[in-house]
Structure 1
C-alpha cells in the first residue's frame, strides 16, 4: 500500500498491482521518485462498503490473467485514510483524479462493487477525459425516500440512521449487529469459496472503518453531486435479482436512468454471488481500453 497526499493535505491509501508493496509517499500531481509502471491497461477498483483498501484475491488474479493493472484508492475514513466529514459521492472523483496524476496514469476504466458502484459512476461522469468505461455490480441507485428505494432491504438500519445525519449513523453503528439474512444461499456459497477474502476484508474493516462507513452511508442518502445522465462512456450494470442488501429495484433504476448502458440481471444471484460476473466485466473493460 502507498500513501498519497492530496492537495488539501489529506492522506489516501492506494493499492497498485504495478508497484511493490513497500511503503512510498507521493504528493498529488507529482510522481517524483515513482518508478515507471508497466505499460498495461489500467482498471480502478472502487471498494465495497466497508473495506480496508487492500486489493484481495480474486481481484488481483482476475486482473492479472487479463494483462490489466489494477489500482484501488481507499475512501476517506477507511483503512487509515484521513476522514472527510460531509463528503459527497462526487468527491471521490476528485480524489481519484489526483491519485492518477500522482501515479502518472492518463486513462483508466473503473468498476465498483456495492458501495463502490456510485463512486465508479461518479468517476465516469466527472472525469470523462480519463475514464474510458465503467461497470458496477450490486450498486445502489441515487437516493429517493420512497418505498421503492427502501423495499426489500433485509437491514436498512444504517441507511435510515444516515438519513438523520452523520452523528446518528455513528451512534447506530455502536450497537449494530450483522444480520445474516441479508445474504442468500448463493452469497454464502461465494463467501465460502472464491470470495472468502471479501468477507474477511469487510470484517477487518469493522471498527477502524467506523467513520468511513458512516460517511459512505450519509453520501448515499444525500445528493450524489452529479447526474447519471453525465455518464456517457460505455457502461455495464450487473445486479442480482435476489439481492437483499441493495435490492434489484436499484439496478433497474440505474438502467432506466442510463438507457444506453448494458444491464444484466442475474436471476439466482444475491449481493455477493453477482461478483461471479467480474471476469466477464474485466474482459469488456479491457477491450474498451485496448480499442
Structure 2
C-alpha cells in the first residue's frame, strides 16, 4: 500500500450516566445548521472526503457519533434502537443545541427515526437514506430470492441470538477485506455509473483507516445493531409527526421496497429517488442536506 499522510478529524467524547463514553466528530462550519447523523451498519464517525466537502459547502454543522461498540464508543450489550435517543440528547446538550435535524443512512435510518419519534420537541426534520424497516423474523430461514426485503437471513439469525449472528458478521467482514486486499475500492462501484473506476482502497491511508475501523478493529457494534433491529425497536413509527423524507437509489430495489413499508407506516413521510445505488453519491447527499436545512 502506498502510504499518504492522513490525520483523522479531531475526536471528542461525552460520558453517559451508565459509565460509558460516546465518541464523535464534528464536520462543517461551527455556525451551520445543526444535524446529527447516524451512520450505516457497519460504519464509524470517520466520513469520506466527498461527504465532508458537501457538508462544508451546504451550511451544515454535522455531528457524527460512533454508536456503542464502534470506534471510541463503549459497547452497550442488549441495547435497543430507541436507546440511541439518550446518547443523542447528551450529544446535543454538549453542543448547546436545543433544536437540530437528524439523518441516517442504511442501518442508521432506524436510529434517526427513533430520535424523530422520541424527541419531537427537539428534532426539526428527519431524513433517512436506504433505511431498513422493521424486519420479519418468524418462520423458516429466508432464502436469497425473498421478495420482501424485511425477510432477510441476517435479521433471522439475529432473532435467534448472538451466537447465531456473529459468525455470519465475521465472515462478511473477512470477505470485504479480502476484496480490498485484492485491489478493490473502499466502496463498491455505483451501478448507475459503471464507467467510474474507483482507485484501490489499499493505496489510500485514509480509506484503509476507515475500513479497519469498520471491519477489523471490532465487530461488536455491527453485531449489536443487528440484534437491536431484530427485536422491538422501542418506538412506534406512526408516532412520528414531524417531517420525514425517505431516500433511495434508482438501482437499489431493496431500499425502494423498504421505503414503501416505511412510507406506509410514517404519517406524511415523503419518498425521494436519486440516481445511483445504495450508498448515496455526493449529489444525492447534497440534495438530502438541502432538504434538512430548508425547512
Q: TM-score, normalised by structure 2?
A: 0.78
> C-alpha deviations, 1:86-114, integer Å up to 9, x for none?
11110111110111112211111111011
- Please state if 1:207 is matched with 2:245: no
**Cα RMSD for the two superposed structures:** 3.2
**Match of 1:11?**
21
CA distance in 2, matches of 1:81, 1:188: 36
- Residues 126-145 of structure 1 correspond to what in structure 2 (within 5 A)? 126-145=118-137
- Please state if 1:230 is matched with 2:239: yes
**Match of 1:75?**
67
> C-alpha deviations, 1:181-222, integer Å up to 9, x for none?
x976238677828x9988973554112230000000111111
CA distance in 2, matches of 1:270, 1:125: 27
Figure out how many residues of one structure are paired with residues of the other and give that number: 265
**Match of 2:167?**
171
- Unaligned 5+ segments in structure 1 are 20-37
- Unaligned 5+ segments in structure 2 are 1-10, 180-187
Is the partner of 2:36 in helix, strand or coil?
Answer: strand
CA distance in 1, matches of 2:68, 2:197: 26
Q: Say if 1:191 and 1:198, in contact at 8 Å, map to a contact too.
A: no
- Residues 1-291 of structure 1 correspond to what in structure 2 (within 5 A)? 1-17=11-27, 38-145=30-137, 151=147, 156-176=152-172, 177-178=174-175, 185-186=191-192, 192=198, 201-202=210-211, 204-243=213-252, 246-266=254-274, 269-273=276-280, 276-288=283-295
CA distance in 2, matches of 1:131, 1:198: 32
Q: TM-score, normalised by structure 1?
A: 0.79
Are the structure 2 counterparts of residues 261 and 186 from structure 1 closer, same or farther at C-alpha, using a change threshold of 3 Å?
Answer: same
